[in-house]
Amino acid sequence: MSGLTLIFGLFFYVSIAIFLVGFMAKVWKYGSTPAPLKIPQTPAPVSAPGVGVRYLQEVFVFKSLFRGNKVLWLGGYLFHLGLLFVLLKHLRFFIAPTSSILSTLVKFDVYSGFILVAALIFLLILRLAIDRHFYISLASDYALLLLLIGIGGTGLLSRFWENGHVRPSVPEVKNFVAGLVTFHPASVPEHKLFLIHFSLVMLLLIYFPFSKLMHAGGVFYSPTRNQIDNPREKRWVNPWAKQVTAAAAAPAAAPVAAAEEPSEG
């Protein structure tokens, strides 16, 4: 095994570990922090399936964003759609015998990478051009967009820079990735472009759990969106106020056992 392979192999494992552990720790924290009161932003669904529908609309159509800002929605939606397809296509490096759906996707979808990068540039322009967005943007917001543009850009380049040596071949990459996944590291493709692309993705994974990218997990824990609007029908119990309630309620202490356990929210 070459030194380069060792370095990139380790880089991969460390990044993946930080990403997975960090992501799960954050989500665990979101999930385990109590929601003392019912605060759904109404009009809200009055049943659990209703909340499911609300989420489908938020996650697959970005409904609230659409209401809030159509231009931003267009940029944001195209970016995430592009990202989704690009990620799906990357599966071909991980799944051993490429499935037929995947190969069809790879064959026919030649646009998603472009859409991804174009949308990111559009989002960057919005940040710079709209006075309000410029005011609220932080250095880290720009850095993240640039990082993603870097990833998308190097990815696209590796697809089109055909001339012999520059373009890493799919089998080579696949071999390397398969090695990583099965813990039998195969040698890393020694293409500068690939190495840059790969490194940037690893940086993104490391940064992910510590950044606003956690919206991908956090959105599901937003009490204004995930709570059922039924406070009168079903008593919501605040887990940390039991003692207080019992103390304040001299005559009619709440029969807590009979009440709803706060499972959602």
Partner 1 sequence: MAEPPAEKTAVETVAESVINKNFKVPELIGEINVPRVEDGYRRKGVTSAIKPHMAKPAVQAKVGFPETLVDNWEEAAVKRLGELLEKYKSLQVYLDICVRCGSCTDKCQFFIGSNDPNNMPVARAELLRRVYKKYFTTEGKIFGKLAGAHRLDLNLLSDWYAYFHQCSQCRRCSVFCPYGIDTAEISMAAREIMDSIGIGQKYVNEILGKVHEIGNNLGMNPKALAATLESTEEDIEEEDGVPVKLPLDQEGADVLLVTPSADFFASPHIESLIGYAKVFHQAGISWTLSTAASEAGNFGMFIGSYTQLEKVAARVRNAIGELKPKRLVVGECGHAWRVAYSFWNTLIGPFDTLDPRYPAPQHIVEFTLDLVRRGAIKLDKSANDEFTVTFHDSCNVARGSRMGDRPGGQFTMPRELIKASCNKYVDMDPSTTMEKTFCCGGGGGLLTDEILEIRVAGAMPRMQALHAVMESDGVNFMALICAICKAQFTKVLPKYGIPMTVAGGVHQLVGRAIELGAKE
Residue ranges in contact with ligand HEM by CB under 6 A: 59, 62, 65, 72, 75-76, 79-80, 123, 141, 144-145, 148, 213, 215-216, 219
User: Is residue 62 near partner 1 by the rule CB under 8 A?
Assistant: yes
Q: Is 242 in the site for partner 1 (CB under 8 A)?
A: no
Q: Which residue's CB comes closest to ligand HEM? A: 76
The yes or no reply on residue 129 touching partner 1 (CB under 8 A) is no
Residue 132's binding partner, choosing from partner 1, ligand HEM, none, with beta-carbon cut-off 5 to 8 A by kind?
partner 1
102 vs 147, which CB is nearer to partner 1?
147
- Applying the rule CB under 8 A, the residues between 148 and 187 that interact with partner 1 are none
Region binding partner 1 by CB under 8 A among candidate stretches 99-107, 180-188, 197-205, 220-228:
220-228
- Contact with partner 1 (CB under 8 A): which of 130, 166, 178, 196? 130
Q: Which of 1, 10, 21, 37 binds partner 1 (CB under 8 A)?
A: 37
DSSP per-residue codes, the chain: --HHHHHHHHHHHHHHHHHHHHHHHHHHHHHHS---S----SS--SSHHHHHHHHHHHHHH-HHHHHH-HHHHHHHHHHHHHHHHHHHHHGGGTSSS--HHHHHHHHH--SHHHHHHHHHHHHHHHHHHSHHHHHH--HHHHHHHHHHHHHHHHHHHHHH--STTSSPPHHHHHHHHHHHHTT-PPPPP--HHHHHHHHHHHHHHHHGGGSGGGHHHHGGG-HHHHS-S-TTTSPBP-GGGHHHHHHH-SSS---GGGSBP----
